[in-house]
Amino acid sequence: MRLVLISGLSGSGKSIALNVLEDAGYYCIDNLPANLLPETIRFLSGHGYDRAGISVDARSGESFRELPGLVTELRKQVDLRLIFLESKIETLVRRFSETRRRHPLSSDARSLREAIVHERDLLGDIAELGQRIDTSDLSANSLRAWIKDIIALENAGFTLLFTSFGFKHGIPLDADLVFDVRCLPNPHYDLKLRPQTGRDADVIAFLDSVPEVADMLADIRAYVAKWLPCYIRDNRAYLTVAIGCTGGQHRSVYFAERLAAHFVATRQTLVRHRELA
């Protein structure tokens, strides 16, 4: 059975992710108490369901504390993926204010911001169990596309993810390793290259011609290759390597694409571009 667990902060896009799973043919359940997971999986398996998507979060109350142990046990029985969605506090405050929805952990004694911080503390141990996605700067369509990429993977083995971003928009919350390539020549200052991206032939040719680009690419590639076995031994399901330049259009995109192309032959690999999305 394939099981995709959706967890994360309220307002970070869990409903969108669950809808993607439902559209992909998964039997979906929202807001299932964590302690009911084993019984639910047994029931679904016994009735012929081979794919399920279940949202489990802080609304489960005290039973949510059981989730890390349950995930460990369930991974021995089913093909389990856990997707953890998070966003910056300012983004979540704005989303709740715009929709005028009440945060599930807010109360007369706890403000919206305090409820968000409290929920982040409660979920801290869960984020490390699966694929983290920072939805702060993502549109709903971009999030849908990223969820589709994740569930399209054939099995729940270790996944290496390269993401590009622009430092002027902030470092992604879901990054495990961050590399800064802003010291390299910037195609932005070439008027012909400015509207293009690191996936376009002209920009690729420009960066290929710079010796320092090749040197830094080789250094990052060697660093990731050297330490990757340690992350795998740490029982991680994912490792997110973030490459940042100023705007997230040219250099970081080029590096993410090149690194992904190198590792895809030996590792389950994904690539995404936050600012292009």
* 166 assigned binding-site residue: no
**Which residue type occupies 264?**
V
* 244 assigned binding-site residue: no
Q: Is 109 exposed, middle or buried (0-12, 13-18, 19+ CB in 10 A)?
A: exposed
* 15 assigned binding-site residue: yes
Backbone angles phi, psi at 260, to 5 degrees: -60, -40
* 226 assigned binding-site residue: no
* 270 assigned binding-site residue: no
* 10 assigned binding-site residue: yes
* 57 assigned binding-site residue: yes
* 53 assigned binding-site residue: no
Order of strands, sheet of 2-8, starting from the edge strand that comes earlier in the sequence = 27-29, 51-55, 2-8, 79-86, 131-134
* 168 assigned binding-site residue: no
Alpha carbon distance 9, 126 (integer Å):
11
* 127 assigned binding-site residue: no
* 8 assigned binding-site residue: yes
Number of helices (H) and strands (E) in the chain: give both, helices first.
10, 9
What's the distance, Cα to Cα, between the start and end of the chain in Å?
Answer: 32
Identify the DSSP state of 133. E
Q: How far is CA 275 from CA 137, 142, 185, 253, 264, in A?
A: 8, 10, 19, 9, 22
* 111 assigned binding-site residue: no
Binding residues for GTP: 57-60
Binding residues for ATP: 8-15
The binding site consists of: 8-15, 57-60
